[in-house]
Amino acid sequence: MTFIKQIERYLHLDQLIRLKSTGTADCLALKLNISKSMVYIYLRTLRERGAIIKFSTQYKTYYYVRPFSIAFGRSIGKEDWSL
């Protein structure tokens, strides 16, 4: 899997969690086109970076307990360019 694809999946996962529309781990795996075990790896990775993610058995969705944001990127300054 390419790095870009991984970033896209994390962003999609983040969006689904924010919207509280992940469904169960099985449903989430289908939405992200990954295995159920990969879903747990992605969730664990977000948790390792400070996200507090819970699962609501009533609504059958994952959700953030408190605000969390992910960002991918790097600022490139003038000194980073070699001309």
The structural domains of the chain, with segments of one domain joined by +, span 3-64
* Mean pLDDT over the full length of the chain: 90
**Confidence grade of residue 21 (pLDDT, cut at 50, 70, 90):** very high
User: pTM surpassing 0.75?
Assistant: yes
| Fold exhibited by the domain 3-64 | Arc Repressor Mutant, subunit A (1.10.10)
Q: Yes or no: say if 52 and 62 are a contact pair by the CB < 8 Å rule.
A: no
Nearest alpha carbon to residue 23 among 55, 57, 53, 60: 60
Find all residues with CB under 8 Å of 51, minimum gap 6, and list them: 64, 68, 70
